[in-house]
Amino acid sequence: MTTTTFNPSSIQLQRGTFYTAVWGCQMNVYDGERISDLLSATGLQQSNEPRGANVIVLVTCAVRAKAEDKVFNQLLSWRHQGIIDDHTIIALGGCVGAELADKLVELNSDIKIVFGPRTAHRLPQLIAQYLHEGRPQIAVNADALEKFDALPAQGARGVSAFVTIMEGCSNKCSYCIVPYTRGSEESRTLESIIEEIEGHVSNGVKEIHLLGQNVNSYRGLNAKGQLVHFSTLLYSVAAVEGVERIRFTTSNPMEFTDDIIEAIGFLPTIANHVHIPVQSGSDRILKLMHRRYSANDYRRLIAKIRAVRPDIHVSSDFIVGFPGETDEDFAATMQLAEDIGFDQSFSFIYSKRPGTPAAEMDDPVALEVKKERLYQLQALLERSAAANAQRLYGTVQEVLVEGLSRKNSAELKARTSSNHIVVLDGSPELIGQQAFVKITQVMAHTLKGELVHV
């Protein structure tokens, strides 16, 4: 592993402002937050609107074709509205950066800098170099963990903070571009993760959300140089004084081992919600997806988790219309969703990603059929999420108060351990605190509650 001695604050950029826009998964949100810390350390001021910003950083997602299009459309619309001009330094990073690299500056001449998920920390250097040389700068390849060693300390994050514990993915599910954009899987050391968490706690963070494409395959070194598994990391995070709640995303059903299930049983700090993407309920499709578990393996896994936490909420990701998916395959997915009773989940129509094995598979199913299947699945998922939320009615829930409600700033927004948003009346002084709230109303996507005690 190579580490850099690069000190971001040693690069002082011209006085100016930067704006960041983030698409995609929580790992991108984490990278976007770290980029903000980094650019602030160089002397630039963060702006909350793109107009007038000297540097605009786009942290992009490539998981579906539409995710990419969104970025290009955004640039076009900023151009037309006069929000950006020839002097704006557009730095495009994230997964589209890694996927298309130097092609991007040919596709859109507004793009001056291209970086990837692994090179976010090099942004100040790339900006300085662009200003010096006046030509586009492209840097997408680096050691996976170099970024974490080179970034400055985390800034303040409110009551909940993301902490990326590993970079990349080596699973190579047949439809997925992530292993090609984020590279193969590498885990951070236990020490560096705990150090980052301690920093957050000293800034008032109470909930730690561990991130990785496949957190349950975490294999990091401890201070003695021994390899530790995800369950050990969970115990270590729970032992950090001040950590009141732990979440983790995403878990692959394949490696959700018994030691992790045991940790969920032992550690009340682990939130009462797990997100475990299943993708499909058909064994034939799961095989074609290269997911390495069957629908019944998934059912057994959820049953085991519910044996240690009977009321745990489970959410998932689904891909509908994978190449060659038949009515029978889809019926198996509906059956699985019916059997599990998921919470709010994500479901998308399969999107062909160039360079992945599934892109070469025959895909005779009409888009209209796929749309109809998606509609049916989403209706079922909505129904089960609503039924699960209804279970909370009349109960007293421990919540963390995240801030003011977006719809009505006279109300507070809080989050239950089960990952439901609750709005309630209360003093803004409660923001950042734990509170106990009685659930008085269950609406489609939020709950209403009354403060019982702090």
Per CB under 6 A, residues contacting ligand SF4 are 169, 171-173, 176, 178-179, 213-214, 252
Of 189 and 214, which has the nearer Cβ to ligand SAH?
A: 214
C-alpha to C-alpha distance for 319 and 349, rounded to whole angstroms: 6
- Which of 40, 257 has the CB closer to ligand SAH? 257
**Of the two residues 6 and 72, which places its CB atom closer to ligand F3S in the complex?**
72
Alpha helices (H) along 267-364: 283-289, 295-308, 327-340
Residue 255 binds ligand SAH, judged by CB under 6 A: no
Smallest separation, CB 75 to ligand SAH (Å)? 23
Using CB distances below 5 to 8 A depending on partner kind, what does residue 172 bind out of ligand SF4, ligand F3S, ligand SAH, none?
ligand SF4
Q: How far is the CB of 24 from ligand F3S (least distance, A)?
A: 3
Q: Is 289:249 a contact under the CB 8 Å cutoff? A: no
Helix (H), strand (E) at residue 139: strand 137-139
Give the DSSP per-residue string, 415-450: EETTS-EEEEE--GGGTTSEEEEEEEEE-SS-EEEE
Residue type for position 184: S
Among ligand F3S, ligand SF4, ligand SAH, none, partner that 94 touches (CB below 5 to 8 angstroms by kind): ligand F3S
Residue 193 contact, options ligand F3S, ligand SF4, ligand SAH, none, Cβ 5-8 Å cut-off depending on partner type: none
246 binds, among ligand SAH, ligand SF4, ligand F3S, none (CB under 5 to 8 A by kind): none
What is the distance between the alpha carbons of residues 112 and 54, in angstroms, rounded to a whole number?
12
Considering the complex, what minimum distance in angstroms separates the CB of residue 279 from ligand SAH? 6
* Backbone conformation region of residue 281, classed left if phi is above 0, alpha if psi is from -120 to 50, else beta: alpha
Question: What is the Cα–Cα distance from 337 to 314, expressed in whole angstroms?
Answer: 11
**What does 351 interact with, of ligand SAH, ligand F3S, ligand SF4, none (CB < 5 to 8 A by kind)?**
ligand SAH
| Nearest-CB residue for ligand F3S | 24
- Round to whole Å and give the CA distance between 317 and 347: 6
At 163, list the tokens. 């902490």
Instruction: Retrieve residue 178's tokens.
Output: 């992530």
Which residue ranges make up the site for ligand F3S (CB under 6 A)?
A: 24-25, 27-28, 61-63, 94-95, 177-178, 181-182
By C-beta, is 272 or 345 nearer to ligand SF4? 345
The answer to whether the bond into 333 is cis (omega within 30° of 0) is: no
What number of other Cβ atoms are within 10 A of residue 3's Cβ? 11
Judged by DSSP in three states, 343 sits in coil
In the chain, the amino acid numbered 23 is W
Q: What distance in Å separates the CA atoms of residue 181 and residue 166, rounded to the nearest whole number?
A: 14
350 contact, one of ligand F3S, ligand SF4, ligand SAH, none, CB 5-8 Å limit per kind: ligand SAH
How far is 399 from 119, CA to CA, in rounded Å?
36
- Part in contact with ligand SAH (CB under 6 A); list of ranges 91-99, 170-178, 410-418, 445-453: 170-178
Range 51-80, binding ligand SAH (CB under 6 A): 63-64
Binding partner of 179, given ligand SAH, ligand F3S, ligand SF4, none, CB within 5-8 angstroms per partner class:
ligand SF4
DSSP string over 214-256: TGGG-EEE-TTS-EEEHHHHHHHHHTSTT--EEEEE---GGG-
Binding site partner of 181, from ligand SF4, ligand SAH, ligand F3S, none, Cβ cut-off 5-8 A by kind: ligand F3S
Least separation in angstroms between CB 106 and ligand SAH: 24
Backbone φ and ψ of 386, nearest 5°: -65, -40
Candidate list 217, 250, 388, 405; residue touching ligand SAH; CB under 6 A: 250
State the nearest-atom distance from the C-beta of 38 to ligand SAH, in Å.
25
Q: Which two tokens stand for residue 7?
A: 């000190």
Q: Please say whether the beta carbons of 337 and 310 come within 8 A.
A: no
Quick one: which of 255, 259, 283, 317 contacts ligand SAH (CB under 6 A)?
317
Instruction: Determine which residue in the list 351, 378, 419, 434 makes contact with ligand SAH, applying CB under 6 A.
Output: 351
* Residues 214-233 within binding reach of ligand SAH (CB under 6 A): 214
Binding mask 263-282 for ligand SAH (x = CB under 6 A): --------------x-x---
Q: Quote the radius of gyration of the chain (alpha carbons, Å).
A: 22
The CB-of-443 to ligand SAH minimum distance in angstroms stands at 26
Minimum separation from the CB atom of position 62 to ligand F3S (A): 4
Which DSSP letter does residue 400 get?
Answer: E
Q: Could you give the CA distance from residue 323 to residue 289 in angstroms, rounded to a whole number?
A: 10
Using CB under 6 A as the criterion, which residues of the chain lie in contact with ligand SAH when the complex forms?
A: 63-64, 169, 175-176, 178, 213-214, 250, 252, 277, 279, 317, 319, 348, 350-351, 353
